[in-house]
Amino acid sequence: MIKKNIFRMTAVGTAILIVSGCGLRTISGTPVERTLGNAKQFSDYDLSQDEDYKHSEAMQLISLSTRVKPSKANDLDAHADGFNNVSLRTAQATAIGATVNATINPFQAVFLLVGFESQLSKMSRRNKENELFKVIPTDNLTEIEITSKLKEAQIELDSIIKKAYLADDNVANVVFLNMMDEGLSTELYDDYIVPLTETDEVAYCYDKSIYNQFLELKDDPEYSPTSTSLPISHRGCFARVRASGRYYYNDVNSSLRSIPDSDFIVATATLPVLFPVQELRGISDDVYLYQPAAGYFRSANLKALLKTDPGMVKAYWDQDNFVDVPKITNITTAEVLSFGGESK
């Protein structure tokens, strides 16, 4: 366990902080500096302390991965049916009625709701994205050893995502885009993973030339690298594996088998909406996939493809790459952790 005085010294001495409307936040530093500089006590996120409500293991895990606490719209246990407000449930009922009457099919019924949720709900963006994450025990590790653990986790998640893409018949090649290595950023250490077709277009993306736009920017002599932001948007078409993680120093003995007894890190990756999740295979037992309900997705790419190429989206639907209720899956053991709490 990293002692608290060492943690504080690391946070103050190696990470640069600024004041924003949301308080202090780390904006620079190496991945390990950001990880330790943003460390939290697990007790601040331990959902078992709720005296009136028993949260699911799924809710506990996703709140640690995203650092979004289960309050109101973000309580996925309370909205385990995949919808979290009256207006959306009304829309759901209308869609179901149309399905029963055979005026639309189930695929159309679900995706009639895409974007509707983002307009009505205060749900965090992180709870509306496919999230791949790994839980890493870090007891008695030095800062140098934690640096190695973070890099190993990034490489592992990179490999898992790449293999899943290459198992997809529509993906011929996978390339990695690291903004630091390409000279497109001065501080963005994350890996972006790009699926390409045989013609080197970005697979499952309405803007098929977006990867080439990054390459053109790299060769532009007038371009000046940004810091922690992407120079241009990837349109939600790339996977992103973060170099830093969520550090927790564990001051609580959790009864959940997925939570280490020691300090731990949650390493995370975000997957595009159109991703072959059925091809994900874990290397270790501590890698999980969070999938939001399909109606939660907030994706300009998905909306564009539903208009221009609905057949592509329908093919993914038919392969069970979407879910109608949120869930977490251990991608090694295939164990499913469902949302849904209960009163104590």
Sign (positive or negative) of CA dihedral 62, 287, 243, 216: negative
pLDDT at 108: 60
Amino acid 178 reads N
Res 118: pLDDT: 44
* Cα–Cα distance for residue pair 306/112, rounded to 1 Å: 10
For residue 131, the model assigns a pLDDT of 98
Q: Whose structure tokens read 């839980």?
A: 135
SS3 231: coil
Per-residue model confidence (pLDDT) at position 79: 77
Predicted confidence at residue 86, as pLDDT, reads 38
Of 218, 217, 220, 195, nearest in space to 208 by CA: 195
Give the pLDDT confidence score for residue 229 in this predicted structure. 75
pLDDT at position 66 is 97
Report pTM. Answer: 0.85
Question: Where in the chain are the domains?
Answer: 4-343
Q: Are 95 and 104 in contact (CB under 8 A)?
A: yes
Question: Residues in the chain with pLDDT < 70?
Answer: 1-28, 82-121, 227-228, 344
